[in-house]
Amino acid sequence: MTALMISPSGVRGIVGQGLTPEVVVRFAASFGYWSGGGTVAVGSDTRTSREMFKHAVLAGLLSTGCQVIDVEICPTPTLQFMIEELQVDGGIMISGSHNPAEWNALKFIRSDGLFLYPDQIEKLISLYDKNVIKRQTWRDIKTVQKDASAISRHLKKILDTFAYQEIARRKFKVVIDACNGAGSLVSPLLLRQLNCEVVEINCTPNGFFPHPPEPIAANLTELAETVKLCGADVGFAHDADADRLVIVSETGEILPEDYTLLLAAEATLRKRRGLIVTNVCTTNALEEVAARFACPVKRTKVGDVYVSRCMREEGAVVGGEGNGGVIIPEIHYGRDGIAAIALILEYLTEENKSVSQLASRLPPRWTIKEKLSLKQSFSDIRKKLQEEFADYEFDLIDGIKIIFPKGWVHLRLSRTEPVLRIISEAKNEGTATILHQRVLSLL
Ligand code: MG
């Protein structure tokens, strides 16, 4: 595995190998210089490397004359929200997100709470590479100010946005699995404020992950069993920085990650019609859900920043990605697994249905997601696929998507892991498997 990955989604690496305090301090200084020595908010998830990297980030920012606001452990969406709230010049989130505990990463945030746009991150990387950052002298070095209000401000915004009194009357029983990540400090609190009976599993914010933090079915068996055992109405799971949400039904069924966005889209469109934005490899069931409300769907490259930016520019009512990331513009333009909990509970309340009843109304889809290590260059793969499937339509907005009459297969290089991601989808398992195997056989 590559020990350090520098990409449009930030800088990510294995702690102590590619990602060292030296790398982090130089990246933070590059960001401080790029921001013109402004005021920068810093947050982190719960990883054991967080203190080490936080101090490196603070040193880098201070060296370029930034005033720093340390918001301590918080989810990525909480920091993004806080940056807008405080009207500061930007932020750095220290979080490996869905990556295992040995990884960590820096995500760079603009003054409007969105991640740096691709041209801005390129500029930042070039500052880092050239290492020509201007440092301040002793007179111009500013201070670090602690601000512990991020979580309460974020929760207040969520409660103000959704029908919390109605939700509170339902007295839901909810199991929450935050994987001992940053969501541990926020989601149980939100659920209690919503008058839920809360069963916490893995909500100790110590950075020791009891299962891999990626919220996929294979990692959520404990949550599913707990929901069944204690007769809960619903189970929720986050990754380590709680920008994602995956839902478990009252029967203990783990809904596929894409269903979070499908349910969020229905929950939103029934009240407010408009554009939905998602990336190129999210389930096509989203178009069917949108069509029920006569609403359009627009697709972008993969990545929070592309979806968020398009949503804001085009005034979308809801959006997100198929990995459990939902963006609710009323809160802010970023994936927010915590706000998504409130949206889903409001939907359950107002429809007076169970999770499995709401899920059964969704269009049937079978999705296969696989990661492969790369044995040939991506351009060779693309060429081969374009020749082999010349009779079919392609979408080349990000990677390559082959559109077959009864389904599609999408391949792209991951920006967060050194792997090739393949997603195949059809209306049933048999067709999805055939399409998936047909493409795999060529790799
Ligand atoms: Mg994440």
Q: Which of 123, 148, 173 is the last residue of a domain?
A: 148
| CATH code of 19's domain | 3.40.120.10
**Which residues in the chain land under pLDDT 50?**
1
- The 10s digit of each residue's pLDDT in 319-343 is 999 999 999 999 999 999 999 999 9
Q: What is the pLDDT of residue 7?
A: 78
Q: What spacing in Å lies between the alpha carbon of 303 and ligand 1's midpoint?
A: 11
CB-count exposure of residue 411 (10 Å: 0-12, 13-18, 19+):
buried
Dihedral sign from CA coordinates of 268, 339, 302, 238: negative
Query: Do 261 and 344 belong together in one domain?
Result: yes
Dihedral sign from CA coordinates of 29, 34, 39, 40: negative
Query: Do 194 and 330 belong together in one domain?
Result: yes
Q: What is the pLDDT of residue 9?
A: 75
Query: Do 162 and 290 belong together in one domain?
Result: yes
Question: For strand 90-94 and strand 144-146, is the pairing parallel, antiparallel, or unpaired?
Answer: unpaired
Query: How many distinct structural domains can be found in the chain?
Result: 3
Q: What is the pLDDT of residue 2?
A: 58
Q: What spacing in Å lies between the alpha carbon of 157 and ligand 1's midpoint?
A: 21
- The 10s digit of each residue's pLDDT in 138-159 is 999 999 999 999 999 999 999 9
Beta carbons of 223 and 175 less than 8 angstroms apart: yes
Query: Do 140 and 183 belong together in one domain?
Result: no
Query: Do 64 and 165 belong together in one domain?
Result: no
Q: CB 313: neighbour CB atoms within 10 A? A: 9
Q: What spacing in Å lies between the alpha carbon of 113 and ligand 1's midpoint?
A: 15
Query: Do 225 and 372 belong together in one domain?
Result: no
Q: What spacing in Å lies between the alpha carbon of 287 and ligand 1's midpoint?
A: 25
Query: Do 105 and 206 belong together in one domain?
Result: no
Q: What spacing in Å lies between the alpha carbon of 240 and ligand 1's midpoint?
A: 6
Structure tokens at 121: 């991150």
Q: In what order do the strands lie in the sheet with 366-372?
A: 366-372, 420-426, 407-413, 400-404, 393-395
Query: Do 424 and 346 belong together in one domain?
Result: no
Structure tokens at 3: 């020990």
Question: pTM (2 decimals)?
Answer: 0.96
CA distance 402 to 112: 35
Query: Do 94 and 238 belong together in one domain?
Result: no
Query: Do 304 and 333 belong together in one domain?
Result: yes
Candidates 9, 63, 95, 97; catalytic one: 97
97 is catalytic: yes
Q: What is the pLDDT of residue 189?
A: 98
Q: Which of 106, 123, 148 is the last residue of a domain?
A: 148
CB-count exposure of residue 271 (10 Å: 0-12, 13-18, 19+):
exposed
Q: What spacing in Å lies between the alpha carbon of 77 and ligand 1's midpoint?
A: 9
Q: What is the pLDDT of residue 6?
A: 85
Query: Do 375 and 346 belong together in one domain?
Result: no
| CATH code of 394's domain | 3.30.310.50
CA distance 152 to 190: 9
Q: What spacing in Å lies between the alpha carbon of 338 and ligand 1's midpoint?
A: 12
In 4-124, at which residue ranges do the beta strands (DSSP E only) sit?
Answer: 4-7, 10-14, 39-44, 67-73, 90-94, 103-109
**Helices 150-161 and 76-86, packing angle to 10 deg:** 90
Q: Which of 335, 360, 385 is the last residue of a domain?
A: 360
- Boundaries of domain holding 418: 366-440
Measuring CA to CA, how many Å separate 206 from each of 182, 288, 374? Answer: 9, 41, 34
Q: What spacing in Å lies between the alpha carbon of 426 and ligand 1's midpoint?
A: 27
- The 10s digit of each residue's pLDDT in 5-64 is 887 778 999 999 999 999 999 999 999 999 999 999 999 999 999 999 999 999 999 999
Query: Do 161 and 284 belong together in one domain?
Result: yes
Q: What spacing in Å lies between the alpha carbon of 322 and ligand 1's midpoint?
A: 13
Give me the DSSP letters along 377-398.
-HHHHHHHHHHHTTTSEEE-SS
Residues 6 or more apart from 383 whose CB is under 8 A from it?
none
